[in-house]
Structure 1
């Protein structure tokens, strides 16, 4: 999870540019991408916390294997964010900073979680702790690359 904490630092450094938009790159602002990334991390970590590790069962998923293990990059424009992780309402430096603090708190005990905590991903199936870490890192990097392109 060290990598994810570094990525959170990068998101934090982009908060001051929250209102920047480049419609040739994305319809979302820098703030939207930060808010979406934070909301995704928060929702997934909370789902893992609330999961029952004894109920986890691994199943092969070609999409998960392809993206998380082979390509190691989320392709742009291929999927739409589920409603539950789409930012709603006003996005400001203050709301982004509060969300970031909340996510950091939510991640505090991650290392102590059982290896079979899990959450159901809409494209990749059920992800355990290790797969979740990979996904959160790839997903956050994906949005940081979009943010970097918006800011160019």
Structure 2
């Protein structure tokens, strides 16, 4: 997975801002804005975590669950609950989404400058170091883009 693909995924999230009020309870209890906001929060929090990590303290504890999902290339729907720090607020403004898009673009571009043992600690998968981060962010973002497409196509 590459920086280029992740930037395209961010651009796709941005293109859905106009559909932010769309919802379909049969697909998701959350509207499009929630999925965009959550996806951007994950990109930004993961990027910040990588930047703040100490590469010398990296420990390979990547779980079997992580290996399975990274191999499959997708996450199943409705099986995980978002951690509090990446749950969107009640009211999500267009301006906030645009601001988060800009931050995400800047953050993902900075990942390439980090040491390969910079890492993010995922609650289920364990430590994910820089070389695998693009794949994780793509799998996660694509998971929410599929939900957005399903909400907007019904």
* Aligned residue in 2 for 1:103: 104
> Equivalents in 2 of 1:13, 1:97: separation in Å?
10
* Aligned residue in 2 for 1:42: 44
Q: Aligned in 2, Cα 1:60/1:126: closer, same or farther, shift over 3 Å? A: closer
Tell whether the 8 Å contact from 2:28 to 2:151 is kept in structure 1 after alignment: yes
1:123 aligns with 2:124: yes
| Count of matched residue positions in the alignment of Structure 1 and Structure 2 | 151
TM-score, normalisation: structure 1: 0.95
TM-score, normalisation: structure 2: 0.94
- CA shift, 1:60, in A, is 4.4
> Equivalents in 1 of 2:73, 2:143: separation in Å?
10
Map Cα deviations across residues 15-61 of structure 1 (whole Å, 9 max, x no partner).
Answer: 00001000000011100000000000000000000001111121341
Computed over aligned residues only, the root mean square deviation of the Cα atoms, in angstroms, reads 1.0
Match of 1:8 among 10, 27, 43: 10
Q: Secondary structure at the match of 2:112?
A: helix
* Aligned residue in 2 for 1:149: 150
Displaced runs of 4+ in structure 1, greater than 4 A?
none
> Equivalents in 1 of 2:62, 2:101: separation in Å?
33
What 5-or-longer segments of structure 1 have no aligned partner?
A: none
